[in-house]
Amino acid sequence: MTNPKNIAAVLADLTSRVGVRADSRVLAGTSVTFDVSVLEIFGTLAVGGVVEIVRDALVLDEREAWSGSIISAVPSVFAALVDRLSGRVQAETVVLAGEALSWTLVSATQAALPGVHVVNSFGQSETFYATTQTIEPTDPAGSSATVPVGTPLAGVRVRVLGPGLRPVPVGVLGELYISGPNVARGYWGRPGLTAGRFVADPFEVGGRLYRSGDLARWNREGRLEYLGRADFQVKVRGVRIEPGEIEAVLLEHPSVAHAAVVVREGREGAGAQFVAYVVSTASARGGGVVDLDFETGFGGPDPVQVRSFVAARLPEYMVPSVVVVDELPLTANGKLDRAALPEPVWVSG
């Protein structure tokens, strides 16, 4: 249950950070069922700007040219077209939300749209927006593969907590809890779910925390880094692991543009193991179909080399088998559809 007060509480700060003005023209490239659309549509109209509502940002592929102030999209969708924007599209700012954002995509965006500001925004339907991070054209890439989701919006409090709702140290993974005027009151007609997600705030008398189910950590610069969903955590060989940590390392490989890691049943008797589906940088730029043979990696990054790359950075039990695919499946909202990833064909060797 979200009311206009929840949204208005942070919308003014959000539009200011993103740079929405009365003379702005905004391409609203996410689904109207997605909370990001509130900024795209109502945030723009509230300051007198012009909003162009489209099915998704891929419509830019159908235009000979487009010029405006802000493009808003889900990272997976924007990554599919960014390398074809140069010379045809002009924008001051690109707002990316809904998924973890890689520095690889930031670099590709800056190359395609010189001088552009990239805004990484983060939140949930239950909190609207919570944090943002703006990358200026001159900012260097960070040390981690994923871009920080930044700092809280005005009045929003964000905490990374471990067992017993205790704060975790800098750099340690924990679950993200959010409080403030942006937090919804609960779920309509679902008191049990509301009680499990909206909990008493031990840091503020009478306050409430929204338990997001998101895994995050604070970096040394005081910025929040989003790693993935707690409900995507899996246990392999008795160790609980977040696949997003493996995906982040894969994205550091120069030949990998996109990556998704899931757990599959391995060869007979092998038990559960990680499988990484990767899209090559060449394929992401429209370089054609990439062979699905993950033993040879023909047409894409060499899976053996990618495994070695990961093995040098992560424990052995986190090193995945590698499948090279032409693209990753997306949901109607433009997010990664993990359930639609193909089953790998296991071969000997």
| Cβ atoms of 117 and 93 closer than 8 Å | yes
DSSP state of 102: B
- What confidence category does residue 161 fall into, taking pLDDT thresholds of 50, 70 and 90? very high
pLDDT at 92 over 90: yes
DSSP state of 248: H
DSSP state of 346: -
**CA 273 → CA 4, 128, 244, 319, 340, distances in Å?**
45, 35, 15, 9, 18
Residues 115-130 have a mean pLDDT of 86
pLDDT at 142 over 70: no
* Rg of the chain in Å (alpha carbons): 20
- What confidence category does residue 344 fall into, taking pLDDT thresholds of 50, 70 and 90? confident
More confident position, 73 or 265: 73
Please give the share of the chain, as a percent, with pLDDT higher than 90: 20
Residues 10-25 have a mean pLDDT of 88
pLDDT at 48 over 90: yes
Residues 250-271 have a mean pLDDT of 78
pLDDT at 174 over 60: yes
| Of 285, 306, 308, 290, nearest in space to 107 by CA | 285
Dist. CA 35–CA 226, nearest whole Å: 18
- What confidence category does residue 169 fall into, taking pLDDT thresholds of 50, 70 and 90? very high
The alpha carbon of 3 is separated from its chain's Cα centroid by a whole number of angstroms, namely 26
- What confidence category does residue 290 fall into, taking pLDDT thresholds of 50, 70 and 90? very low
The residue type of 17 is R
- What confidence category does residue 94 fall into, taking pLDDT thresholds of 50, 70 and 90? very high
Give residue-wise pLDDT tens across range 183-210.
888 888 888 888 888 999 999 888 899 9
Dist. CA 245–CA 241, nearest whole Å: 8
Note if the pTM is more than 0.85: no
- What confidence category does residue 233 fall into, taking pLDDT thresholds of 50, 70 and 90? low
Residues 307-323 have a mean pLDDT of 89
Residue 297 is predicted with a pLDDT of: 39
Residues 121-129 have a mean pLDDT of 83
Please give the share of the chain, as a percent, with pLDDT higher than 70: 85
pLDDT at 123 over 50: yes
More confident position, 328 or 8: 328
| Cβ atoms of 259 and 250 closer than 8 Å | yes
- What confidence category does residue 281 fall into, taking pLDDT thresholds of 50, 70 and 90? confident
Residue 149 is predicted with a pLDDT of: 87
**Mean pLDDT value across the chain:** 82
More confident position, 296 or 254: 254
Output helix, strand, coil percentages for the chain, rounded to the nearest 5. Answer: 25, 30, 45
Residue 294 is predicted with a pLDDT of: 39
pLDDT at 226 over 70: yes
Q: Which residues make beta-bridge pairs with 256? A: 280
Q: Domains in the chain, start-ordered, CATH in brackets?
A: 4-229 (3.40.50.12780), 234-287+297-325 (3.30.300.30)
Q: How far apart are the first and last CA of the chain?
A: 54
Residue 286 is predicted with a pLDDT of: 54
